[in-house]
Structure 1
């Protein structure tokens, strides 16, 4: 069986940071590479050959955005995240069989917004306006082109019959039309949500669900040795 692995980069980075902790760009790239390769094994035996790993993401913006609380422009061209991301992408490009697909951020629409839970507190008056702090705001900026690139690659892989199996590492439901197309072409379509909850009706559009590292499970004790082949397909 020949397998293509598609990674929603922003989703993976958020989950990995939350469950596996902060790491350098080189360490995170190595971690992602090793994790993807685990999908080729089942109970310690190789069950698939790797066609390619496709990684989809956007580089951080480099413009200034006005912060309403601080009443000043925040320059994102000097951010630590931007430096880290550039180094991370360069590390992935050096990995064998990695294909990096970069979209763009709709940074012309970027703005700072109050977090949803903060807005609720303000409405309930459990938080007052004069108590607002910088961490109560979040940067709202959308990706452009990432979902389209994922969908196009799934369609291309399916129509050209380049693989027998597609594994998508994502927590988004926007992949459903592409998954249905791939399944109609006879492709085995596996979703890896990294233990992120998914809607029950998504199961009818995939052939299996598998996460290869139990540390992504919120119920997994931090001091327990990880299991690398714990989820069923």
Structure 2
């Protein structure tokens, strides 16, 4: 079997770090995926995120955000070897009464895919783009299956425990993103 990799992208994580690392610009997700795979064949890229929250009735602002995200997801679906996995956004009120939105099912979807791909022996390398310590158990599960786990992260948001658990840790830098930046703003 040739060296094959899968890229697992926490879309919410990338949305959080990209504005600071590549202000006002977007990246080419296919080029990014191929770049992080290096010499490995990219079996597939899995992109995990949630559609924006929609209240009832939907506000014009919510409708616009949903439409933009839907267009972005449709573009990703057209890319070679991409699969989109969507969770849902849940609205909560914190202790002070402020509205808080939390992603639901995202970590579990990613963890199930990573574990299944690792134990099925379909991949030799799992490339995780995330920063959440909730992924520590699945990183260990993949390693137990003999899969090399590479973590792509930013110092802007990463848990030390996740850094410690990964085999290889590669810091996402502005210079790295510049190589896969789209030349026009979309």
One fold, TM greater than 0.5? yes
Aligned residue among 157, 161, 175 for 2:117: 157
Relative contact order: is structure 1 or structure 2 higher (C-alpha 8 Å, sep ≥ 6)? 2
Q: Which runs of 5 or more residues in structure 1 are unaligned?
A: 42-46, 65-72, 115-136, 218-224, 229-233
Q: How does 1:185-204 map to 2 (within 5 A)?
A: 185-204=145-164
* Structure 1 position 226, deviation (Å): 4.9
User: Larger radius of gyration, structure 1 or 2?
Assistant: 1
Q: Distance in 1 between matches of 2:157 and 2:72?
A: 27
Q: Distance in 2 between matches of 1:104 and 1:11?
A: 15
The answer to whether the aligner puts 1:33 opposite 2:35 as a matched pair is no
* Structure 1 position 159, deviation (Å): 1.2
SS at match of 2:79: coil
* Structure 1 position 207, deviation (Å): 0.3
Q: Distance in 1 between matches of 2:99 and 2:22?
A: 23
The answer to whether the aligner puts 1:13 opposite 2:15 as a matched pair is yes
Q: How does 1:36-51 map to 2 (within 5 A)?
A: 36-41=33-38, 47-51=39-43
SS at match of 1:60: coil
Q: Which runs of 5 or more residues in structure 2 are unaligned?
A: 181-186
The answer to whether the aligner puts 1:99 opposite 2:83 as a matched pair is yes
CA gap 1:113/1:38 in 2 versus in 1, 3 angstroms: farther
The answer to whether the aligner puts 1:55 opposite 2:47 as a matched pair is yes
Instruction: Report how many residues are paired.
Output: 178
* Structure 1 position 203, deviation (Å): 3.9
Tell me the alpha carbon deviations over residues 168-193 of structure 1, each in whole angstroms, 9 at most, x when there is no partner: 00111110000101101100001111
CA gap 1:10/1:172 in 2 versus in 1, 3 angstroms: same
* Structure 1 position 83, deviation (Å): 2.1
Q: 1:3, 1:50 within 8 Å by CA — same for their partners in 2? A: yes
The two structures, once aligned, show a CA RMSD in angstroms of 2.9
Q: TM-score, normalised by structure 2?
A: 0.82
List structure 1 runs of 4+ shifted beyond 6 angstroms: none
CA gap 1:63/1:157 in 2 versus in 1, 3 angstroms: same
Q: TM-score, normalised by structure 1?
A: 0.67
